[in-house]
């Protein structure tokens, strides 16, 4: 996927609602779709929580880096099986003073 088509792909999700984000995260969509929707500015802390349970570590990493992440999301990510997700969560916790 080239840069232009990737941006068009992400723009397809520009006006998606938190309910639609939840549908993509819990449905039978590939991880490109799940990453695209969790990057959306409309992703709620509840959407981030669902994404942190995803089987794919890239989706979980994208979720924990979202600006709408809460302390509960960070604490959940601190329990992840992959050390780099735990490291990101630790860094966010320190940056935000939680």
Residue 94 has pLDDT above 70, yes or no: yes
Q: Could you tell me the two tokens for 14? A: 């520009």
Q: Could you tell me the two tokens for 30? A: 């590939």
Find tokens 């992400």 and name the residue: 10
- Residue 25 CB neighbour total at 10 angstroms: 23
60 to each of 2, 3, 63, how far by Cα in Å? 24, 23, 5
Give the mean pLDDT of 33-53: 95
CB 87 within 8 A of CB 61: no
Instruction: Give the highest mean pLDDT range of 8-12, 33-37, 44-48.
Output: 44-48
């Amino acid at each position: 996927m080239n840069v232009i088509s990737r941006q068009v792909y992400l723009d397809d999700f520009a006006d998606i609602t938190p309910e639609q984000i939840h549908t993509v995260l819990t449905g039978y969509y590939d991880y490109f779709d799940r990453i695209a929707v969790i990057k959306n500015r409309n992703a709620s802390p509840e959407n981030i929580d669902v994404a942190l349970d995803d089987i794919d570590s890239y989706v979980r990493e994208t979720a924990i880096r979202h600006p709408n992440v809460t302390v509960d999301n960070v604490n959940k990510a601190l329990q992840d099986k992959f050390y780099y997700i735990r490291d990101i969560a630790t860094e966010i916790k320190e940056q935000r003073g939680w």
